[in-house]
Amino acid sequence: MDGVIALYKERGMTSHECVSSLRKILHTKKIGHTGTLDPNVDGVLPICIGKATKISELMMASGKVYRGAITLGVAYDTEDLDGQLIAQQPIKTPLTAAKIDQTLAKLTGDLMQTPPMYSAVKVNGHKLYEYARKGLTVERASRPIHIDYFKQLKPASYDPTRQQQTIYFEVGCSKGTYVRTLAVDFGRLINVPSVMSQLTRIQSGGFYISQCVTLEQVQAAMDADDVIQVLQPLKEALKQYPTYALDESRWQIVSHGGFLDESINSDHAPVVCLDYLGEVKALYRFEPANSQYRPFKMFIA
């Protein structure tokens, strides 16, 4: 059983629980996810099965797309609604759409971001949330991230009773981006408390939420002995790479881990997906110094 399950992770579940459940359903231990989602975030969680576990880090490195909401006027220690309220400030004059767009634009491009205290980043051998739960704040290094775009999805709403405004957004971002921190940074730019009040991941690892299946659907497919219906093939998971169809002579070279000359890709793409008789067999990486393609990831049994 080899491929990727584009799992829809429900709110309230941890990514580890999803993997554990799939191990039991699929009766296999060779499973790995492609980057965790917080328990209160739902959406796309690609799960690699069998040979596909070899590409989990490649999928983790891909960009992500989220849709969510930022609420202005309140702040929480966890940067989402799961924590403790730490600040309030009435929003008496709602932001205009133009002001929201202008502020979102300031949070695009190459940025440095400090991981939140309530995160799994390790400092001195301990996860940050372990310090946070003890009421401690520790120094942590900022990390480079890239925000492709950060835009409004629809007009913001205003609650005159609570004097809070909620912004609805979509963001395309790099690996390692904390979207709840972006929500807090939005508030800092306009000097008001803010919180990420809702978040759904709609794209990850090249898979979209429309391609996702639930744990219940995976179980049903297994019960029907038709798991292929919920398992995306390696070819689909690697569609971002150019493909080269091997002839018999080159397949013999690849099957023994040999090198290929640069003629397999005239553009000298950094990574090429090698296909033999309709099945992905390897990823080869170009080495300019030798003008050769050499093994990078092998999927040969």
Active-site positions read 38
3-state SS of the chain is CCEEEEEEECCCCCHHHHHHHHHHHHCCCCEEECCCCCCCCEEEEEEEEHHHHHHHHHHHCCCEEEEEEEEECEEECCCECCCCEEEECCCCCCCCHHHHHHHHHCCCEEEEECCCCCCCCEECCEEHHHHHCCCCCCCCCCEEEEEEEEEEEEEEEEECCCCEEEEEEEEEECCCCCHHHHHHHHHHHCCCCEEEEEEEEEEECCEEHHHCECHHHHHHHHHCCCHHHCCECHHHHCCCCCEEECCHHHHHHHHCCCCEEHHHCCCCCCEEEEEECCEEEEEEEEECCCCEEEEEEECCC
Which of 193, 203, 187, 221 shows the shortest CA–CA distance to 148?
203
Token duo for residue 87: 């600040």
In DSSP terms, 169 is beta-bridged to: 68, 152
Q: Hey, CA dihedral for 53, 235, 208, 174, is it positive or negative?
A: positive
Residues 8 and 211: beta-carbon distance below 8 Å: no
Angle at 41 between CA 191 and CA 162, to 5 degrees: 40
